[in-house]
């Protein structure tokens, strides 16, 4: 057996290892993972209720916190177990139960204003994170049901407690392509 | 015309039509009370235009169709409206707002009921509008409003009208009975529908196990001598009567996944709908009645009955000799695609082509059956007329894997139930797929809502930001003016 051939093979393998290792090390240092892309992907999995139960002011800030490691994935009661699982799969972590300190999941709900009791104070308008309440000072307010996320943020500012949460309407049975006529 | 091509798979099922088909159609007299569901089977409700206590004449409008997927409802008898409430009904979800009319026995007919003097003189648009006013809906089983379908076919430029006389469900024979007794009505209705849909030709498709109906329709077509109206005899394979499968069998084209038949240039209507259109044109009668097969081993004398819409099903069963043996389950529609009903007090709807009474002898063995694991025999895939892979769909449905469900085409499932029928492990596949489609729909609705909420929240934040900036600027300017000596009025800002 030729000793030279063995030496050459070992040297080539060693050289390859050093070169590839250096390239990988350089790439790890220079090409940073795109943090904003990760935030987008996390945000896409959150339910967009904008309720703040995670103690962040909205879904996107929570996504930023998850991406940076400042918050765990168990803080979103509206998303429930489904969201935790989706986040765990995206981030390659083990799924975990929701932290009850941030609230318990509820079935889908929407706000409803008792118009006979509403005094038109307009305090709930800025509180609504998705502008789903229509109204003006001293005029009747009402909730656009289709856009309400059921976040409950309109409840505390109401001075007469005329807002209540009701079960969200069911999704329409049909989803055919709209016809003419 | 011979059938050019056929759809993949399907199955020849044992027919149970003979007994019901032998006897002539029973004309049921008007009942004393009708229960009119405002959702006539299409999933959308008409808007009531009457109130409790109102007197209505026969043929009067009681609910108008505001939504294009709803159809107008008319009073089949003169009487008083005694109730308007949500009741159990033969519709999806099992409940619908219903109008209950007590017959007064009077023979008062509404002024709006008068024959269409000359359907050929009306423009297609007028025809469609008049049919909408008359509450014409598909009698084949889905109850979809005919005018909506015709209008969309016109818009998409359909060239062929296929009249569905296949009637592939093993127990149903109301269309067969209709074609044998009133083939001229079917042909006349075909001409009106062809004109309203703007198609060049019309093909009446009948399965080859109905020789009497084929003979009657052939004669009616011959009397008419219209080259653009032909008959297609297709082999009796379930589910040939499903819209897409029928179109493939008759026109040799496949309707694209997620598309409408009109995308393939075809519009489909049931033969019974055509006959109802003829009735409307010649007598001016809105859709007030239909022929329904009352059958099953739990009925004494199975037969076909023409009854007013809203007739309680108990009256239909009584007309066929009442119950026999130990009735176990009442089903609206056929044995393959029908839906179990809560009671026989629900009213007949436009979409109900069959009332099936099953006994313990028919389905008892199936009821006690335990679902076993899938053994991957592949029988379901070999019978699936939509060319799907039910085995794989089942895995995806159990895992609630939405992407996989979409990729495997769960939406192209036509709900024919053949996979259930052949499954040796008694897995309720079609049920699982129905549930999966519902889950997909909900997930998509939630995703759309989340996307809208995200956008609105961004706009909300921007608006609050702008308002805060504007306020700050106003405050600054007032403060600056206050600091200027000699300007006394600026202090109000504080």
DSSP state, B162? Answer: E
Q: How high does pLDDT run on average in chain B?
A: 88
Interchain CB distance below 8 Å, A147 and B43: no
Closest-CA residue in chain A for B91? Answer: A173
Interchain CB distance below 8 Å, B457 and A58: yes
Q: How big is the CA angle at A36 (ends A31 and A42), to the nearest 5 degrees?
A: 120
Better-scored residue on pLDDT, B324 or A12: A12
Residues 6+ apart with CB under 8 A from B188: B274, B278, B281, B282
Contact residues, chain A, for B444 at CB < 8 Å: 175
Nearest to B453 among A48, A126, A179 (CB): A48
Residues B86/B70, Cβ–Cβ less than 8 Å: no
* Per-residue model confidence (pLDDT) at position A111: 95
Q: What is the DSSP string of B348-367?
A: P-TT--EEEEEEHHHHHHHH
Q: State yes or no: pLDDT of A43 exceeds 90.
A: yes
> Domains of chain B: which residue ranges?
18-104+123-288, 294-367, 372-494
Q: State yes or no: pLDDT of A48 exceeds 70.
A: yes
Measure the CA–CA gap between B294 and B310, rounded to whole angstroms.
15
B430-448: buried (b, 16+ CB within 10 Å) or exposed (e) per residue?
Answer: bebbeebbeebbeeeebee
- How confident is residue A178, by pLDDT bands cut at 50, 70 and 90? very low
* Per-residue model confidence (pLDDT) at position B494: 43
Query: In angstroms, what separates the C-alpha of B69 from chain A's closest C-alpha?
Result: 9
Residues B251/B230, Cβ–Cβ less than 8 Å: no
Measure the CA–CA gap between A151 and A130, rounded to whole angstroms.
10
* Per-residue model confidence (pLDDT) at position B291: 94
Q: State yes or no: pLDDT of B379 exceeds 70.
A: yes
Q: State yes or no: pLDDT of A180 exceeds 80.
A: no
- How confident is residue A63, by pLDDT bands cut at 50, 70 and 90? very high
Query: In angstroms, what separates the C-alpha of A168 from chain B's closest C-alpha?
Result: 11
**Beta strands across the sheet bearing B79-88:** B33-37, B95-103, B79-88, B55-56
Closest-CA residue in chain A for B43? Answer: A173
Beta partners for residue A163, in sequence order:
A113
Interchain CB distance below 8 Å, A48 and B442: no
- How confident is residue B64, by pLDDT bands cut at 50, 70 and 90? very high
Question: How do residues B106-139 score in pLDDT, each as one tens digit?
Answer: 777 777 777 776 777 888 898 999 999 999 999 9
Q: Which two tokens stand for residue B271?
A: 């033969």
Q: State yes or no: pLDDT of B9 exceeds 80.
A: no
Residues A124/A158, Cβ–Cβ less than 8 Å: yes
Closest-CA residue in chain B for A171? Answer: B442
Query: In angstroms, what separates the C-alpha of B461 from chain A's closest C-alpha?
Result: 8
| Least confident span in A58-72, A163-177, B146-160 | A163-177
Query: In angstroms, what separates the C-alpha of A108 from chain B's closest C-alpha?
Result: 10
- How confident is residue A177, by pLDDT bands cut at 50, 70 and 90? very low
Q: State yes or no: pLDDT of B307 exceeds 70.
A: yes
Interchain CB distance below 8 Å, A132 and B456: yes
Interchain CB distance below 8 Å, B259 and A126: no
Nearest to B460 among A43, A60, A129 (CB): A129
Query: In angstroms, what separates the C-alpha of B433 from chain A's closest C-alpha?
Result: 15
Candidates A166, A159, A122; CA nearest to A140 is: A122
- How confident is residue B7, by pLDDT bands cut at 50, 70 and 90? low
- The pLDDT of A23-46, averaged and rounded, is 86
Measure the CA–CA gap between B389 and B333, rounded to whole angstroms.
26
B480 to A45, B472, B474, B476, B477: CA distances (angstroms): 48, 12, 10, 6, 5
- How confident is residue B14, by pLDDT bands cut at 50, 70 and 90? confident
* Per-residue model confidence (pLDDT) at position B147: 93
Query: In angstroms, what separates the C-alpha of B351 from chain A's closest C-alpha?
Result: 17
Candidates B170, B179, B178; CA nearest to B233 is: B179
- The pLDDT of B81-96, averaged and rounded, is 88
* Per-residue model confidence (pLDDT) at position B490: 45
Question: How do residues B191-204 score in pLDDT, each as one tens digit?
Answer: 999 999 988 899 99
Interchain CB distance below 8 Å, B260 and A179: yes
- How confident is residue B105, by pLDDT bands cut at 50, 70 and 90? confident
Question: How do residues A98-151 score in pLDDT, each as one tens digit?
Answer: 999 999 988 889 999 999 999 999 999 999 999 999 999 988 899 999 899 999
Residues 6+ apart with CB under 8 A from B60: B74, B75, B110, B112
Question: How do residues B22-63 score in pLDDT, each as one tens digit?
Answer: 888 999 999 999 999 999 888 889 999 999 999 999 999 999
Question: How do residues B454-494 score in pLDDT, each as one tens digit?
Answer: 999 999 999 989 999 999 999 999 888 888 765 544 444 44
Q: State yes or no: pLDDT of B2 exceeds 90.
A: no
Is B300 exposed, middle or buried (CB count within 10 Å of its CB: 0-12, 13-18, 19+)?
A: middle
- The pLDDT of B17-26, averaged and rounded, is 84
* Per-residue model confidence (pLDDT) at position B487: 52
| Angle of the B183-197 helix axis to the B271-283 helix axis, nearest 10 | 90
Interchain CB distance below 8 Å, B451 and A48: yes
Other CB atoms within a 10 A radius of the CB of residue A50 amount to 25
* Per-residue model confidence (pLDDT) at position B141: 82
Q: pLDDT > 90: what percent of chain A?
A: 72
Closest-CA residue in chain B for A47? Answer: B450
Residues B86/B112, Cβ–Cβ less than 8 Å: no
Interchain CB distance below 8 Å, B453 and A50: yes
Interchain CB distance below 8 Å, B464 and A126: yes
Question: How do residues B248-276 score in pLDDT, each as one tens digit?
Answer: 888 888 888 888 888 889 999 999 999 99
- Specify the fold of B18-104+123-288: Rossmann fold (3.40.50)
- How confident is residue A153, by pLDDT bands cut at 50, 70 and 90? very high
Chain A with chain B: Cβ pairs closer than 8 A: 78
Other CB atoms within a 10 A radius of the CB of residue B363 amount to 16
* Per-residue model confidence (pLDDT) at position B184: 92
Measure the CA–CA gap between B386 and B389, rounded to whole angstroms.
9
Other CB atoms within a 10 A radius of the CB of residue B5 amount to 11
Q: Which of A126, A130, A145, A154 to mutate to test the interface with B (most CBs of B within 10 A)?
A: A130
Is B456 exposed, middle or buried (CB count within 10 Å of its CB: 0-12, 13-18, 19+)?
A: buried
Q: State yes or no: pLDDT of B365 exceeds 80.
A: no
Q: State yes or no: pLDDT of B16 exceeds 90.
A: no
Question: How do residues B401-417 score in pLDDT, each as one tens digit?
Answer: 999 999 999 999 998 99
Contact residues, chain A, for B155 at CB < 8 Å: 180
- The pLDDT of A6-24, averaged and rounded, is 95
Architecture of the domain delimited by B372-494: Orthogonal Bundle (1.10)
Interchain CB distance below 8 Å, A131 and B260: no
* Per-residue model confidence (pLDDT) at position B485: 63
Interface of B with A (CB under 8 A): 43-44, 68-69, 92-93, 128, 147-149, 151-152, 154-156, 258-260, 441-442, 444-446, 449-454, 456-457, 459-461, 463-464
Contact residues, chain B, for A174 at CB < 8 Å: 43-44, 69
Contact residues, chain B, for A126 at CB < 8 Å: 464
Interchain CB distance below 8 Å, A48 and B152: no
* Per-residue model confidence (pLDDT) at position A44: 92
Query: In angstroms, what separates the C-alpha of B260 from chain A's closest C-alpha?
Result: 8
């Amino acid at each position: 057996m030729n000793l030279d051939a063995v030496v050459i093979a070992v040297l080539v393998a060693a050289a390859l290892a050093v070169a590839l290792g250096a390239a990988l090390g350089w790439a790890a240092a220079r090409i940073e993972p795109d943090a904003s892309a990760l935030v987008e992907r996390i945000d896409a999995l959150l339910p967009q209720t904008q309720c703040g139960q995670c103690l962040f002011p909205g879904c996107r800030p929570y996504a930023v916190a998850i991406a940076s490691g400042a918050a765990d994935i168990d803080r979103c009661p509206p998303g429930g177990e489904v969201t935790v699982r989706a986040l765990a799969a995206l981030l390659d972590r083990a799924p975990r139960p929701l932290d009850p300190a941030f609230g318990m999941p509820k079935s889908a709900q929407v706000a409803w204003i008792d118009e006979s009791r509403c005094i038109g104070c307009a305090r709930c308008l800025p509180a609504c994170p998705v502008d789903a309440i229509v109204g003006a000072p001293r005029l009747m307010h009402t909730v656009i049901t289709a856009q309400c996320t059921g976040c409950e943020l309109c409840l505390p500012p109401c001075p007469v407690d005329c807002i209540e949460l009701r079960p969200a309407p069911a999704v329409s049975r049909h989803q055919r392509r709209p016809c003419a006529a | 015309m011979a059938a050019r091509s056929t759809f993949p798979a399907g199955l020849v099922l044992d027919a149970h039509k003979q007994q019901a088909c032998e006897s002539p159609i029973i004309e049921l007299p008007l009942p004393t009370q009708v229960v009119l569901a405002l959702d006539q089977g299409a999933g959308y409700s008409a808007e009531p235009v009457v109130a409790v206590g109102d007197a209505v004449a026969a043929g009067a409008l009681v609910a108008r169709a505001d939504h294009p997927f709803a159809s107008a409802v008319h009073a089949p008898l003169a009487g008083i409206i005694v109730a308007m409430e949500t009741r159990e009904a033969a519709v999806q979800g099992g409940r619908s707002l219903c109008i209950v009319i007590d017959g007064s026995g009077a023979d008062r007919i509404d002024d709006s009921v008068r024959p269409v003097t000359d359907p050929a003189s009306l423009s297609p648009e007028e025809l469609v509008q008049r049919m909408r006013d008359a509450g014409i809906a598909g009698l084949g089983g889905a109850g979809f409003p005919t005018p909506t379908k015709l209008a969309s076919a016109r818009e998409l430029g359909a060239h062929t009208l296929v009249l569905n006389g296949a009637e592939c469900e093993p127990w149903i024979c109301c269309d067969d009975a209709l074609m044998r007794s009133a083939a001229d009505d079917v042909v006349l209705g075909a001409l009106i529908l062809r004109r309203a849909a703007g198609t060049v030709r019309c093909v009446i498709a009948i399965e080859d196990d109905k020789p009497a109906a084929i003979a009657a329709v052939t004669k009616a077509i011959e009397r008419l001598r219209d080259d653009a109206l032909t008959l297609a005899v297709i082999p009796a394979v379930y589910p040939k009567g499903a819209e897409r499968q029928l179109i493939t069998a008759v026109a040799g084209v496949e309707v694209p996944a997620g598309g409408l038949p009109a995308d393939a240039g075809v519009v489909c209507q049931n033969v019974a709908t055509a006959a109802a259109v003829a009735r409307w044109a010649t007598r001016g009668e809105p859709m007030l009645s239909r022929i329904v097969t009352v059958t099953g081993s739990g009925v004494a004398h199975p037969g076909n009955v023409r009854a007013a819409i809203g007739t309680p099903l108990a009256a239909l069963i009584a007309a066929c000799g009442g119950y026999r043996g130990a009735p176990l389950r009442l089903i609206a529609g056929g044995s393959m695609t029908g839906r179990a009903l809560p009671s026989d007090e629900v009213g007949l709807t436009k979409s109900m082509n069959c009332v099936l009474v099953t006994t313990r002898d028919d389905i008892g063995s199936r009821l006690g059956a335990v679902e076993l694991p899938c053994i991957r025999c592949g029988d379901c895939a070999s019978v699936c007329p939509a060319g799907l892979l039910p085995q794989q769909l089942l895995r995806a449905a159990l895992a609630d894997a939405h992407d996989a469900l979409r990729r495997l085409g769960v939406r192209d499932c036509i709900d024919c139930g053949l996979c259930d029928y052949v499954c040796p492990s008694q897995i309720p596949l079609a049920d699982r797929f129905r549930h999966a489609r519902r889950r997909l729909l909900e997930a998509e609705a939630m995703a759309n809502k989340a996307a809208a909420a995200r956008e609105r929240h961004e706009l909300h934040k921007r608006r609050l930001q702008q308002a805060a900036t504007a306020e700050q600027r106003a405050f600054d300017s007032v403060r600056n003016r206050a600091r200027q000596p000699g300007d006394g009025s600026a202090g109000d800002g504080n």
